[in-house]
Structures are given as C-alpha cells and as structure tokens.
C-alpha cells in the first residue's frame, strides 16, 4: 500500500452562494497565521487545512500524522475528515463509497465555513469585566 501523495489533492467543491463566507473565512485565517501569537498545534493544523481545503493553501503546511481520537476531541475528527476529502481521489489509500464521501463533504463544508473561524476565534475573546455587569 502506497502512502498519501501530498501534491495530489482536490479542494472542496462548494455550493454556489458560499463565496462570501469562503472569502471571509480565508481572510480571517490568513490574519491568524500572520499574528505573532503562538497557536496550539491542533489549532494551527485546523487553520492550515481549512485554508487548503477552501482553495487557498498557506505557504507551508505542517502535515501531522493521525493519532488517537478521544470522543471529546471533535476537532480531531474534523481534521481527519478534511484530510480524507483532500486526498479522496487516491484510491490506493482511500476507498470511499458515494454515501461516505457525501457525508464527509458535508461535515468538512460545515467545519471549513463555520466551525474553523468560530473555534479559532474562541480563545481570543476576553471575558467581560465587572464594570459591564459580569459576575
């Protein structure tokens, strides 16, 4: 069995009408990569894979081999789904039936367009101060 060829990939085919959300997500994620702030490994991989799958790969991508997946680690499942969709045409590695591919594409589209931006932004939000009525 041959390994995955990183240069042989296919981006996600988005439905018509997703262009604004796609551009907004790509712009936000590109800004995240430009920051001086260190991003945790799984967040870094989420940012890079999302940009990759939306058709605007970063200059460098750090491919991380799959590890154990805990049921509470939803992000890991999304990362693996993104990799499967990127390399789905490499039939010597992945042999998906149409239903599996369709479900994975839907998960990846949700993750890339909605989840990635919100999840990456979450650690940046500061707690409200007492002055504004926080407990």
> Cβ atoms within 10 A of the Cβ of 21, count?
16
Please indicate, yes or no, if residue 4 is contained in any of the structural domains. Answer: no
pTM of this structure: 0.76
pLDDT by residue (tens digit) across 2-58?
A: 677 777 788 888 888 889 999 999 999 988 888 766 566 778 888 889 999 998 888
Query: What pLDDT shows up at residue 24?
Result: 93
Query: What pLDDT shows up at residue 13?
Result: 85
Please indicate, yes or no, if residue 38 is contained in any of the structural domains. Answer: yes
Contact between 87 and 64 (Cβ < 8 Å) = no
Query: What pLDDT shows up at residue 133?
Result: 55
Please indicate, yes or no, if residue 62 is contained in any of the structural domains. Answer: yes
Contact between 121 and 28 (Cβ < 8 Å) = yes
Contact between 8 and 90 (Cβ < 8 Å) = yes
61 confidence band (pLDDT: 50, 70, 90): confident
Domain count, the chain: 1
Domain encompassing residue 40: 19-123
Contact between 61 and 33 (Cβ < 8 Å) = no
Query: What pLDDT shows up at residue 1?
Result: 43
pLDDT by residue (tens digit) across 67-83?
A: 666 555 678 888 889 98
Query: What pLDDT shows up at residue 110?
Result: 92
Least confident of 40-49, 100-109, 111-120: 40-49
Query: What pLDDT shows up at residue 112?
Result: 93
Q: What is the DSSP letter of 126?
A: P
Query: What pLDDT shows up at residue 129?
Result: 57
């Amino acid at each position: 069995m041959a390994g995955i060829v990183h240069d042989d990939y296919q981006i996600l085919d988005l439905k018509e009408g997703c262009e604004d959300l796609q551009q907004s997500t790509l712009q936000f994620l590109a800004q995240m990569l430009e920051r001086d702030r260190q991003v945790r490994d799984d967040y870094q991989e989420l940012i890079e894979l999302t940009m990759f799958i939306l058709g605007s790969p970063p200059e460098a991508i750090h491919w991380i081999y799959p590890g154990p997946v805990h049921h509470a680690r939803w992000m890991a499942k999304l990362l693996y789904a993104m990799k499967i969709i990127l390399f789905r045409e490499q039939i010597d590695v992945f042999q998906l039936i149409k239903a599996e591919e369709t479900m994975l594409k839907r998960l990846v589209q949700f993750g890339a367009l909605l989840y990635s931006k919100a999840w990456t932004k979450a650690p940046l939000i500061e707690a409200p101060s007492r002055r504004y009525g926080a407990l």
